[in-house]
Structure 1
Amino acid sequence: MHRPLLLAALLCAALANAQANDATSLPRSVGLPYAPGKLADRIVLTPGQNAATQMAISYRTDLTQTDAVLELGPALAGPSLAAKASPLGGNTQRLDSENGPANYHQIRLEHLQADTAYVYRVKGSAGWSEWHQFRTAKATFAPFSFIYLGDTQNDILAIASRTIRQALRSVAHPALVVHAGDLVASRDDLAHDDEWGEWNQAGGWSYAAIPQLTAFGNHEYLETSNPDGSESRSLSPHVPAQFALPGNGASGVASTSYFSDYQNVRFVVLDGTSALDLGTLQAQTDWLESVLRNSEALWNIVVMHQPIYTCARPEDTEPLKAAWQPLLERYHVDLVLQGHDHCYSRLTHAEGRQATQAARQAKQAIGPVYMVSVTGSKMYGLNDRARSQPDRSAEDTQLYQTIAVEQDRLRVRTYTADDTLYDAFDIRRDAKGRKFLHEPKLALGGERYCTASVGPDGLPCTARTK
């Protein structure tokens, strides 16, 4: 055979073999960009139990960087940051994935000064990352704002990233970003490490500079088949590797439940999946009561994935409602931030929005306000209660929330991904500690519902019935 013909035959055989392999392999991100390298990536900053004095950083490298190395120093006005920085070490764990083996490194920062700007960089075997800057919380109450995001989960980089970035643009100096879980899908037909790569790319540098306060949902758990044919759940190994959390949570759930105090606001994070499926409901209930009973915070905010009151699923999450709602009421929790239902809901009274209006007119105090939101592309249609029970609801809509914390008021604003103000309310507290709902007279976008198969944008409705 002539040499050109031989080369052509070999090339055709190679292409055919590659196509056959591709047909049986998992779909991968275009260009396969998420392999670990000799420089640090996936850098995430998380708050400690006391965000005035404690922070933690996690990052990833390939195996050539064998230990966790960080330099920390004061933020300076000039460029000589390394001159005043000191080295710190931490822990390293290996994680094998579709993109190859990687080392995940975690460094916990203790004994920081309150209300102080710091810079840090982390090391890979080929050199240092860029310098990242953060500020610790004040030791006592001071006003601040934070961002709340629902499920990112699907089309994380292609679709959800827009919402995340619009949220970051909308708030000057957000103190925190709160995630309500299902950051990824962890589907059997996707490369899980690619999903985590997309999540990190969607937030980019902001995850390294703004503390991320994250709840975890059912899609952060992996389903496995048992020999008897039953299925069980186990936490994705990416979660404890990717997030250096305070470790002060409920017994048996320390990797995914915790609390963090930020400027006299207590954030309490629960793991509904573990409570519902892994037998930790009582342990988390006991822990939740202790954390709320002992709280001296001005405001208490609970973050969890599965909602107490659903806006898409036919039934509320009854086990969590029975165990946790009495505690949320008894200990005067102010906001409950949730995800899971892939729709929007803001609920004050279980009896419905008319009860909310009557309570406002009668100047009656309120309990917690329950919110559900969604950031990514996966949408569920509203259930038969969601157009009348919540004070405001939406379907087939990507959203983000900004929450401004003041001494006597929480200002909550919900925006659609195109920056249209969709919902606005304040929780006001009087001198006796009673809380009242106030809806400021602001121009809001019309309620976004699907009509038959037509969505609120005049296109086919993407929300499916749950």
Structure 2
Amino acid sequence: MKRTGLTVSAIFVCAIMALVWWSYSGADEKDVGIWQRMVAGYHKYMPVSDSKPLHIRQLVTPDMSTRRIILWETKAQQANSVVKYKLKGHSDDTMQTVYAVSEMFEDGKERRYIYRVDLRDLQPNEEYVYQVGREGHTDDEWHSLSTKQNANFSALIFPDSQSNDYTKWSNLVKTAYGQNPNVQFFVNLGDLVDNGESAKQWNEWFHAVEPMISEVPFAGVIGSHEFYTTDLKFRAPLAYSHFFPFVQANSTLRREPFYSFDYGEVHFVVVDTEFEAMPEGVREQMKASELAWLREDLQNTKAPWKVVLMHRDVFQYGRAKNPNSASGFSEIGRIFMPIFEIYNVDLVLAGHYHMYRRHGHIVNYERSKTGPYYIVSGVAGDIFYNERWQTHPLDEYAPPSDDKPNYLLLSKEGNALIVKAFWFDGTQFDEVRLTK
């Protein structure tokens, strides 16, 4: 009898997993409660450790004043997964519940169950608190969610965080967030991990940004290493796209490789620079599609400030050990810079080179007193490219060395957009102020 009981349980669990996968592929949030209720009894078979919500996170959305995407994970399938939220300081009687869409994702020999809730009808200019988990048994911890759109605000900008050991990245995040606990969102400019297929590295990345990522919306930029298999070959960025399903305004897709969002008077545009990793047969078509979207997005925004976030830089640096290589402009620069100039982009922040360089205003591939202002942001992990690159004749500023992690603080204050650069210990080493 015991053997029969175990067999029935195994069949029940497999049936649930199949139903979950079918539901994610075709259902949307309003339908998901049906199948969630069908498997309501599943939780009693699950160890407590496997049902605990992990990696709770907020993602930026096109309209930050009314919408937010919440995600989390468990090690085993969780029935009746929900977000419960209310206005801060209000009674539990005002609590609202939204069922999650669920998917099973397996990569790097680790299986995850990921839950997503798209909160679309939040009230502007309010402070919320929320919990995640299964209905009736949500996590005890409350997390903050703000829909305020302040004229003056700040955001943390992190360069590439890919690492051999993510201790330095973790310490950098703790220092940056500890000194700037009231930032409205944070950004990671690509190459979040060294190997996109490594579940271990992704877990370490998430641990480093907790609890910040549950309290502060995240804006991710995809980098080249998000495309890497364990043997360093290109593949689709599966982990990144499952972990961070960013959306575009008016799009029916659940995951977008490029997107934009507004905060206050600033329009932020996240572009995908990883054309080399795209399949050759569709590369030009995908590039054309992104550039058409970019032109339309920049043309239609009414925000007075425009900031671009990208992984690969517009400059090309010659290699120090190759005297025949030359510094100039990268292919990415040739593709994007004319568009930035036409649509009056104010600031462009990039990563990739693992060094901090302030390029200044560049127009028509020459030094200018106006036009887009370019900065390559530095390095946030422990992989340094010391002495790898030649100098570039158009760089306005370079620090004495590139052997320390750093981060940026982007602030909007009155009629100014300010970028401050800090070392891992919180010491400021550079500052730029743009006014209009």
Q: Which interval holds the TM-score relative to the shorter structure?
A: 0.7 to 0.9
Helix, strand or coil at the partner of 2:274: helix
Shift of 1:244: 3.2
> Is contact 2:56-2:213 (8 Å) kept?
yes
TM-score, with structure 2 as normaliser: 0.78
| Whole-angstrom CA distance in 2 between matches of 1:241 and 1:55 | 17
Q: Say if 2:338 is the partner of 1:326.
A: yes
Among 115, 125, 137, which residue is 1:115 paired with? Answer: 125
Q: What secondary structure is seen at the aligned counterpart in 2 of 1:162? A: helix
1:132/1:332 Cα in 2 relative to 1: closer, same or farther (>3 Å)? same
Q: Could you tell me which amino acid in structure 1 is paired with residue 429 of structure 2?
A: Y
Question: How far did 1:111 drift?
Answer: 1.6
Larger radius of gyration: 1
1:198-250 deviation digits (Å, cap 9, x = unpaired): 0111011110110001101011113499xxxxx96333322222113124599
How far apart, CA to CA, are the structure 2 residues paired with 1:288 and 1:348? Answer: 22
1:287 Cα offset (Å): 1.1
2:385: which partner in 1?
380
Of 270, 295, 301, which residue of structure 1 is paired with 2:301? 295
What amino acid sits opposite 1:410 in the alignment?
L
Change (3 A) 1:384 1:87: closer
CA contact (8 A) 2:195 2:229 kept: no
| Distance across 1 between alignment mates of 2:389 and 2:189 | 24
Question: Cα distance, 1:342 vs. partner?
Answer: 0.8
Letter in 1 for 2:160: D
Deviations 1:59-110 (A, max 9, x none): 1012330453110111117xx5x44211101311101244642210100010
For residues 162-187 of structure 1, the C-alpha deviation after alignment (integer angstroms, 9 at most, x for no partner) is: 11111112224101101101111117
Q: 1:274 to 1:156 in 2, by over 3 A?
A: farther
Q: State the match for 1:397 in structure 2.
A: 404
- 1:72 corresponding residue in structure 2: 85
Question: Paired residues, what number?
Answer: 373
What do residues 312-358 of structure 1 show as CA deviations (whole Å, max 9, x unaligned)? 7655563321221001111111111111111111111569xxx96xx
Letter in 2 for 1:340: H
Distance 1:194 1:115, change over 3 A: same
For 2:372, the aligned partner's letter is G
- The one-letter amino acid of 1:153's match is Q
Runs of 5+ unmatched residues, structure 1 = 1-34, 226-230, 430-466
Find the residue that maps to 1:272 and give its secondary structure: coil
| Matched letter for residue 405 of structure 2 | Q
**CA distance in structure 2 between the aligned counterparts of 1:253 and 1:88, rounded to whole angstroms:** 18
AA at the equivalent of 1:246? V
Aligned-partner Cα distance in 2 for 1:299–1:312 = 32
State the AA in 2 paired with 1:264: E
- Which residue type is aligned with residue 135 of structure 1? S
Matched ranges for 1:233-382 at <5 A = 233-248=234-249, 255-274=256-275, 277-278=278-279, 279=283, 280-310=286-316, 318-349=330-361, 364-382=369-387
State whether structure 2 residue 434 is matched by structure 1 residue 427: yes
- 2:102 maps to 1:101: no
Determine which of 67, 89, 106 is the counterpart of 1:54.
67
Unpaired segments of 5 or more residues in structure 2?
1-47, 320-324
1:171 aligns with 2:176: no
Q: Contact 2:361 / 2:373 at 8 angstroms: preserved in 1?
A: no
Q: RMSD in angstroms over aligned alpha carbons?
A: 2.9
Q: Deviations 1:260-305 (Å, cap 9, x if unpaired)? A: 1111211111111146644122221111111111111121111111
- TM superposition shift of 1:421: 1.2
Query: 1:147 and 1:310 mapped to 2: Cα distance?
Result: 26
1:419-439 deviation line (CA, Å, top 9, x unaligned): 22111110111xxxxxxxxxx
**CA drift at 1:383:** 5.7
Correspondence for 2:198 among 174, 192, 195 = 192
Is 1:45 matched up with 2:43?
Answer: no
Indicate if the aligned counterparts of 2:235 and 2:277 stay in contact, CA closer than 8 A: no
